[in-house]
Amino acid sequence: MIRAFRPSKRSRRAFATDESGGITVFGLFLFMACCGMAGLALDVSHAFLTRTKLQAAADSAAHAALVARQTQTETEAAQIALDVVERSLPAAANGQVITTDDVVFGLWDETLRTFVASTGAKDAVMVDTARIEARGNPVGAFLLRIVGQDSFSVLRKSVAYTFEPRCMLEGFVGEEYVDVTSNNYYTQGFCIHSNGYVEVSSNNTYEEGVIVSMPDRNDIVLPSSGWESNDGLREAMRDSYYEINAAERVAIMRAGLTDPTSPIYPDYLTTHFPVTLSWQSVIDETTWQPGRIHEVTCNSSNQRVRVAGGTVLRRGVLITNCEVAFGADAAAEDVNLVTTSPSLDSITGASGIRMGLDDDCAPGGGAQFFTLGGMRVPASFRIFGSRVIAGGPVSFVADTGGIDGAHVVSDAYVSATAGGTIGFCGVEGLPEWYKQRYYRIVF
């Protein structure tokens, strides 16, 4: 006789409350949780590493493409971007990270921070890099495959654009330092920049919109009276660094001023054939020919070409390897001077020399001095809508109110003694010259 087994009420209760083997089940769940967390950490870290690599590749490609675009076609510049990415993220290991459609040239609005594609543009470029399912190169997962996550799609974007720093358009710029004296009133737009430090004296006023910059604003050298005697200076401070390369620009200007096809060739020249002058002759109104290029060659470093006192040079170019000395009250209007003399006194001036017309920043009339050496004017210097670019130091003592539209750049230092209003002209008030492109990753 077979009797059916029926668990008693007590045995059912005991089974329900029996915890034997529970730790095994808990351990299994804990193991799965640990695997999930480890997988998440490992795979997410791998995805972020890939993200960083894609961003670096996009940034490098954007910069390279934009530099190339200044002199090459869009197609050629885009190919350079692809080549840059291929070197850092080879397709053999990463798949097709970038295509030509991922390189788009256009315009960047710094105020709105927006990019607009524009055919033929050279101002900005947007570059995408991607490892996505659609391209067959997603970032593979490791442990997260256990929970069904086989891969990640990672995309990065970079926007680069060209710009011209205001300090490289007008102001005082020195590689080592810029030292300016007291009792100056700096008008809106003017810039004082150094890649070292800026030193100021007391009783100066800086209008809103003036820039005083260096890599670390804490390196500013103040007088004993500090910020209190420099109204507006604290608000004008910026942290900035710019490649100056004044000597390089001297060489470029020397070539461009004698090449009729160059964009910086002066429109007041009537011929590109030069007039040759002896370094022993004094330059004055009888030897200077408006509309012409004048060349003077010295045989040794201590030889000097002289501009007679009171002479006003107009509408011409002077190219020399000599030191150039201006006599008292000499002036230059619509004149480009280039000297390759490396002397600290490659350009000097007696009291009262003037660069440019005092015409309230009207277009034209400005002068430009380019030298591989330095420039020194000890007294009553006046500069209106004009530019000095020097490989060596620049020091001058200006007349009160004798600066209105000045761009002074040195690979060494700028020491300016002035008192009065230091005016800002803007681009239209200064002569045309070689503007170096600066590039910035903005997105």
Q: What is the pLDDT of residue 225?
A: 86
Under the banding of pLDDT at 50, 70 and 90, the label for residue 141 is confident
Q: What is the pLDDT of residue 443?
A: 85
Close Cβ partners of 171 (under 8 Å, ≥ 6 residues apart)? 190, 191, 192, 193, 211, 406, 407, 408
Per-residue pLDDT, averaged over 22-49, amounts to 69
pLDDT tens digits for range 308-337: 999 999 999 999 999 999 999 999 999 999
Structure tokens at 394: 């620049």
Close Cβ partners of 173 (under 8 Å, ≥ 6 residues apart)? 167, 191, 192, 193, 194, 242, 244, 407, 408, 409, 410, 414
Q: What is the pLDDT of residue 98?
A: 95
**Neighbour-count burial of 150, counting CB atoms closer than 10 A to its CB (0-12 exposed, 13-18 middle, 19+ buried):** exposed
Q: What is the pLDDT of residue 167?
A: 86
Close Cβ partners of 342 (under 8 Å, ≥ 6 residues apart)? 301, 372, 373, 391, 392
Per-residue pLDDT, averaged over 365-378, amounts to 96
Q: What is the pLDDT of residue 89?
A: 94
* Distance of alpha carbon 244 from the chain centroid: 9
Q: What is the pLDDT of residue 11?
A: 57
Under the banding of pLDDT at 50, 70 and 90, the label for residue 3 is low
Tell me: pLDDT of 82 over 90: yes
Average pLDDT over the chain reads 90
Q: When comparing pLDDT for 23 and 303, which is higher? A: 303
- Write the secondary structure of the chain as one string of H (helix), E (strand) and C (coil): CCCCCCCCHHHHHHHHHCCCCHHHHHHHHHHHHHHHHHHHHHHHHHHHHHHHHHHHHHHHHHHHHHHHHCCCCHHHHHHHHHHHHHHHCCHHHHCCCCCHHHEEEEEEECCCCEEEECCCCCCEEEEEEEECHHHCCCEECCHHHHHCCCEECEEEEEEEEEECCHHHCCEEEECCEEEECCCEEECCCCEEEECCEEEECCCEEECCCCEEEECCHHHCECCCCHHHHEECHHHHEEECCCCCCHHHHHHHHHHHCCCCCCCCCCCCCCCCCEEEECCCCCECCCCCCCCCEEEECCCCCCCEEEECCCCEEEEEEEEECCEEEECCCCEEEEEEEEECCCCCCCEEECCCCEECCCCCCCCCCCEEEEECCCEEEEEEEEEEEEEEEECCCEEEEEEEEEEEEEEEEECCEEEEECCEEEECCCHHHCCCCCCCCEEEECC
Tell me: pLDDT of 424 over 70: yes
Give the number of residues written for the chain: 443
Q: What is the pLDDT of residue 207?
A: 96
Amino acid letter, residue 363: P
Q: What is the pLDDT of residue 156?
A: 95
Under the banding of pLDDT at 50, 70 and 90, the label for residue 437 is confident
Tell me: pLDDT of 149 over 80: no
Q: When comparing pLDDT for 426 and 197, which is higher? A: 197
**Do residues 304 and 322 make contact, with C-beta atoms less than 8 angstroms apart?**
yes
CA distance 400 to 414: 18
Tell me: pLDDT of 17 over 80: no
Under the banding of pLDDT at 50, 70 and 90, the label for residue 16 is low
Which residues on adjacent β-strands are paired with residue 395? 376, 415
CA distance 245 to 339: 16
φ, ψ of residue 38 to 5 degrees: the values are -65, -40
Tell me: pLDDT of 36 over 70: no
pLDDT tens digits for range 58-67: 999 999 999 9
Close Cβ partners of 159 (under 8 Å, ≥ 6 residues apart)? 62, 108, 115, 124, 125, 126, 127, 441, 442, 443
Per-residue pLDDT, averaged over 393-408, amounts to 92
CA distance 269 to 291: 4
Under the banding of pLDDT at 50, 70 and 90, the label for residue 44 is confident
Tell me: pLDDT of 400 over 90: no
**Do residues 86 and 65 make contact, with C-beta atoms less than 8 angstroms apart?**
no
Q: What is the pLDDT of residue 435?
A: 78
* Distance of alpha carbon 66 from the chain centroid: 14
Per-residue pLDDT, averaged over 153-162, amounts to 94
Q: When comparing pLDDT for 216 and 17, which is higher? A: 216
Structure tokens at 209: 């919109």
Under the banding of pLDDT at 50, 70 and 90, the label for residue 27 is low
The pLDDT > 90 percentage for the chain reads 73
Per-residue pLDDT, averaged over 364-391, amounts to 96
Structure tokens at 123: 């101002």
Under the banding of pLDDT at 50, 70 and 90, the label for residue 37 is low
* pTM, 2 dp: 0.80
CA distance 226 to 99: 56
Tell me: pLDDT of 32 over 60: yes
Amino acid letter, residue 102: D
**Do residues 131 and 94 make contact, with C-beta atoms less than 8 angstroms apart?**
yes
Q: What is the pLDDT of residue 6?
A: 58
Per-residue pLDDT, averaged over 389-411, amounts to 93
Per-residue pLDDT, averaged over 354-370, amounts to 94
What are the Cα distances from residue 155, in Å, to 55, 84, 98, 317? 8, 17, 10, 54
φ, ψ of residue 323 to 5 degrees: the values are -70, 150
What is the largest distance, in Å, between two alpha-carbon atoms of the chain? Answer: 145
pLDDT tens digits for range 94-135: 999 999 999 999 999 988 999 999 999 999 999 999 999 999
Q: What is the pLDDT of residue 60?
A: 95
Tell me: pLDDT of 25 over 80: no
Q: What is the pLDDT of residue 10?
A: 57
pLDDT tens digits for range 179-233: 999 899 999 999 999 999 999 999 999 999 999 999 999 999 999 888 999 999 9
